[in-house]
């Protein structure tokens, strides 16, 4: 169990992602990538492209969908960049196909294509493993359960089991342990900053590696919210199109419901973002209940970092601190 504590004085919107031998940190105005290379710390800072006030990207629910996809693209770019910078025993020679694509498309376009493919494959794998597979497994039971809520609850349980098993299994992979330790360094550094302490290795080391506003918590809340949204939306669809009820138990009915639920995923993401945003600004019994499962999962998705990893976390946070003090507060 995690015994270290954090005396939180304020809550920051600064958050990050573990990379290969590094950390990406996102602030209100800047993004930073810090990677430990053979020559020391490599730091890159870029200004964030902020949405115009009043833009649909800032509207409730819409902003959650936009921020989710923006985070996926930024995260993949940072991960690929860290892989290029991180010390390796031997660099792989690009294949003839890679060289041909780069020659035809140009280096910049080639990189965009690779990032796009990586994001699409990552989202496709996540949707397939954590949403499509549970739907397929649970759908045959609709003939016996006979309740929309019951089927969606079963889907939710299967989804949670698959997700937890997946996270626990990859946490045991040797090559992932260092990535998860950098994840712990990211959390510890933000905890230290939120406690109002100087960002030193000693102060950061004393912090807990668990953080309630982690992406792991977001994913778990997505799964819970999907049960509610899918149940309400499925019932609404059956009331609007009552003829569908006659198809219950058939392959066509299952296929239609699976496609329908997949189309609802952006709505689930938007609702979850607003819930997490609210939970991030409040500390009460309800928010602690909402974040408790994610905090527990972080025992598997974070590790205790060494001092070198903590130095990376400190450099990443310091690089994205806003010029105006307090501009990063929730």
What HEC string does 18-33 produce? EECCEEEEECCCEEEE
N-term to C-term CA, the chain: 28
Radius of gyration of the chain (CA): 22
CB burial of 5-35 (b: ≥16 within 10 Å; e: otherwise) equals ebeeeebbbbbbbbbbbbbbbbbbebbbbbb
Q: What is the pTM of this model?
A: 0.84
* Domain spans, the chain: 15-50+57-86+95-320
For residue 141, pLDDT over 60 is answered with yes
pLDDT of residue 103: 58
Range 8-23 average pLDDT: 92
| Under 8 Å between Cβ of 313 and 207 | no
For residue 6, name the pLDDT band (cuts at 50, 70, 90).
Answer: low
Residue with token string 């949670």: 160
DSSP conformational letter for 34: E
Residues paired with 46 in a beta bridge: 31
DSSP conformational letter for 189: H
Range 285-305 average pLDDT: 89
DSSP states along 317-328? HHHH--SSTTTT
CB atoms within 10 A of CB 123: 14
Nearest to 290, CA basis, from 212, 229, 231: 212
Q: How far apart are CA 22 and CA 309, in angstroms?
A: 8
| Under 8 Å between Cβ of 306 and 181 | yes
Contacts of 142 (CB under 8 A, 6+ apart): 151, 248, 249, 253, 254
Convert the pLDDT of each residue in 234-262 to its tens digit: 999 989 999 988 888 788 988 898 899 99
The mean-pLDDT minimum among 13-27, 50-64, 270-284, 315-329 falls in 50-64
DSSP states along 142-160? HHHH--HHHHHHHHHHHHH
For residue 3, pLDDT over 60 is answered with no
Burial of 163 (0-12, 13-18, 19+ CB in 10 A): buried
For residue 1, pLDDT over 50 is answered with no
Q: How far apart are CA 178 and CA 113, in angstroms?
A: 28
DSSP conformational letter for 131: I
């Amino acid at each position: 169990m995690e015994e270290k504590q954090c005396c939180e004085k304020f809550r920051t919107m600064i958050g990050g992602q573990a990379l290969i031998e590094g950390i990406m940190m996102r602030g209100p105005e800047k993004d930073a990538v810090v990677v430990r290379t053979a020559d020391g710390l490599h730091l890159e800072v870029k200004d964030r492209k902020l949405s115009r006030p009043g833009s649909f990207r800032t509207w409730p629910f819409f902003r959650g969908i936009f921020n989710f996809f923006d985070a996926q693209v930024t995260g993949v770019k940072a991960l690929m960049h860290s892989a290029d910078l991180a010390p390796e025993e031997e660099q792989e020679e690009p294949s003839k196909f890679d060289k041909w694509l780069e020659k035809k498309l140009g280096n910049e376009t080639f990189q965009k294509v690779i990032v796009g493919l990586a994001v699409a494959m990552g989202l496709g794998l996540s949707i397939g493993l954590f949403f499509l597979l549970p739907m397929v497994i649970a759908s045959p039971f609709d003939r016996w359960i006979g309740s929309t809520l019951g089927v969606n609850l079963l889907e939710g349980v299967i989804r949670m089991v698959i997700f937890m098993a997946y996270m626990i299994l990859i946490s045991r992979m040797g090559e992932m342990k260092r990535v998860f330790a950098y994840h712990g360094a990211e959390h510890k550094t933000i905890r230290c900053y939120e406690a109002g302490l100087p960002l030193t290795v000693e102060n950061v080391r004393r912090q807990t590696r668990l953080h309630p506003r982690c992406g792991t918590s977001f994913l778990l809340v997505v799964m819970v919210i999907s049960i509610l949204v899918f149940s309400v939306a499925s019932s609404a669809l059956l009331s609007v199109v009552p003829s569908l009820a006659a198809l219950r138990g058939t392959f066509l009915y299952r296929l239609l419901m699976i496609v329908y639920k997949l189309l609802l995923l952006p709505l689930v993401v938007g609702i979850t973002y607003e819930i997490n945003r609210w939970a991030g600004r409040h500390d009460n019994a309800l928010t602690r209940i909402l974040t408790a499962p994610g905090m527990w999962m972080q025992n598997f998705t974070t590790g205790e970092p060494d001092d070198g990893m903590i130095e990376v976390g400190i450099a990443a946070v310091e690089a994205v601190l806003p010029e105006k003090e307090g501009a990063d507060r929730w």
